[in-house]
Amino acid sequence: MSILITGFGQIITFKKADAPLRGKDMRDINIIKRGAILIGGKKILAIGKESEVKRHKLSKNAKHIKMRGVALPGFVDSHTHSIFAEPRLKDFSLRVSGASYQEIKTAGGGIISSINAVRKQNPAEMERQLLERAKKFLECGTTTAEVKTGYGLDFKSEIKMLQVIKNASLKTSLEMPATLLSAHCVPPEFKGDTKKYLEFIMAEILPFAARKRLAAFVDIFCEKGYFSAKESLKYLFHAKQYGFIGKIHAEQLSNSGGIAAGASAGAISADHADYANLSDIKVAKQTGMVLTLLPASNFYLGINKYPNARKMIASGAAVALATDFNPGTSPCLNMQEVLSLACINMGMTPEESIVAATINGAYALNMADRIGSIEVGKQADIAIFDAEDYREISYYFGGNLNLMTIKKGRIVYKKMR
């Protein structure tokens, strides 16, 4: 069955490329005015001016939907920690009274304070929560969201999280590629013995997750007090032998060498990059590793220093945007908010923010061959916003302009009037 959607004020498309868009190509978007989209099954059959699309032979018998607004590719949120049992409200109170992320950790909050509830939570409840969140992602126009583990930090709980992602994926339209983030923090049982904990993950969790095909990616938090660059390098190399694609939380709170380590290990993305220096940016550019910026976490932690997106883009490094949705540093799953923050606090242009949140995010997930842009032959993953101009999506903040979400050719969310 085909669907013909007409009436769009604008449809945003990108230059065809087989790599993330960089430099000025990030600003060079195409705007189709008074456009239409023809969808056949899960895929896009035609896009263009209404009159052109109507000439397609499958248009005639297609179900016709009259829309309005701005059509973008569904957001690709390439960095989330969407499984957590409880919000961290104690951390929040400490934060608003001025404590830093590191001080909150020292006071007994932080990542470790999330593990008890996650370990105790039964998989059915975990799945119910994740599905509830998946619904909210779809409501906000996100059609793909990566989901990390990293709040279990023992074999049983980390595998439980991966299995929940897999099972939940069968019950929601949101695509949720999984990332094993057991190297998020050293759990109390290992009494700060980082080496021993990493050896345990490498010996027990990685082989099992690989054998059961539970995750495509492996991630590590490279930071003072967490894992060093040397450890990250060794770990990501090891993970690669099992077929995992590497990702790294790098240079979030200090320059710890994570970007260089990630690049040497062939990681697909280095995320945060707040303290990336010129040599890090150069390495990212040369290796093609995507720098995924997460400005909602800066905003939430009250950090005035944001990643230097302007320098990264000017240098030709690939830049993506994601929410970092998590209970400690970014309780925000709305990519529209991230676009606003990227423009206001990092000086990205509205065009760059859209590219970073869609096609470049798709590259950070190795999925750009089928998602991330409205392109003939690609999956019909589309978000339609209540706007006359695409710039309104980053201009308005604190709300949800999404009118309709289409995933794999099906309407999966429609705003109630």
Residues of the shown chain interacting with ligand NIG in the complex, contacts defined by CB under 6 A: 81, 110-111, 114, 221, 249, 252, 297, 324, 326-329
327 binds, among Fe ion, ligand NIG, none (CB under 5 to 8 A by kind): ligand NIG
CA 236, CA 385: separation in Å to the nearest integer?
39
Selection from Fe ion, ligand NIG, none that 20 binds (CB < 5 to 8 A by kind) is none
Find the part of the chain contacting Fe ion (CB under 5 A) among 1-9, 322-330, 340-348, 381-389: 322-330
| Residue selected from 77, 91, 175, 324 as contacting Fe ion according to rule CB under 5 A | 324
Looking at the Cβ atoms of 169 and 326, the one nearer to ligand NIG is 326
HSE of 290, CA atoms in CB hemisphere, 13 A:
30
Of residues 192 through 251, those in contact with Fe ion by CB under 5 A are none
Q: Could you say whether residue 274 binds Fe ion (CB under 5 A)? A: no
Tokens of residue 5, six digits: 């959607």
- Cβ neighbours, 10 Å, residue 18: 7
Q: C-beta of 14: minimal distance to ligand NIG in Å?
A: 27
Among the listed residues 127, 169, 119, the one whose alpha carbon sits nearest the alpha carbon of residue 146: 169
Residue (81 or 408) nearer to ligand NIG, CB:
81
CB of 127 to ligand NIG, least distance (A): 20
CB of 223 vs ligand NIG, minimal distance in Å: 7
Q: Which amino acid is at 281?
A: I
Please give the Cα distance from 59 to 270 (Å, whole number): 43
Alpha helices (H) in 201-319, listed in sequence order:
206-211, 229-241, 258-264, 278-287, 295-301, 309-315
| Mode of pairing for the β-strands spanning 319-321 and 290-293 | parallel
Neighbour count for residue 417 (Cβ, 10 Å)? 4
Stretch that binds Fe ion, among 90-98, 150-158, 317-325, 370-378 (CB under 5 A): 317-325
Query: Which of 4, 164 has the CB closer to ligand NIG?
Result: 164
Cα-based distances in Å from 315 to 42, 140, 142, 282: 37, 31, 28, 7
Strand partners, 410: 407
Compare residues 11 and 183 and give the one whose CB is closer to ligand NIG: 183
Specify the residue, 309 or 332, whose C-beta has the smaller distance to ligand NIG.
Answer: 332
**Smallest separation (angstroms) from Fe ion to the CB of 326:** 6
For Fe ion (CB under 5 A), the number of binding residues is: 1
- Between 252 and 336, name the residue whose CB sits nearer to ligand NIG: 252
Nearer to ligand NIG, 59 or 157 (CB): 157
Residues 6+ apart with CB under 8 A from 217: 146, 177, 178, 179, 180, 244, 245, 246, 247, 268, 365
| In 146-200, beta strands by DSSP E | 147-148, 178-183
State the residue number with the nearest CB to ligand NIG: 328
Q: Which tokens belong to 29?
A: 């978007």
* Shortest CB 296 distance to Fe ion, Å: 10
CB of 329 to ligand NIG, least distance (A): 4
> In the complex, which residues of this chain contact Fe ion (CB under 5 A)?
324
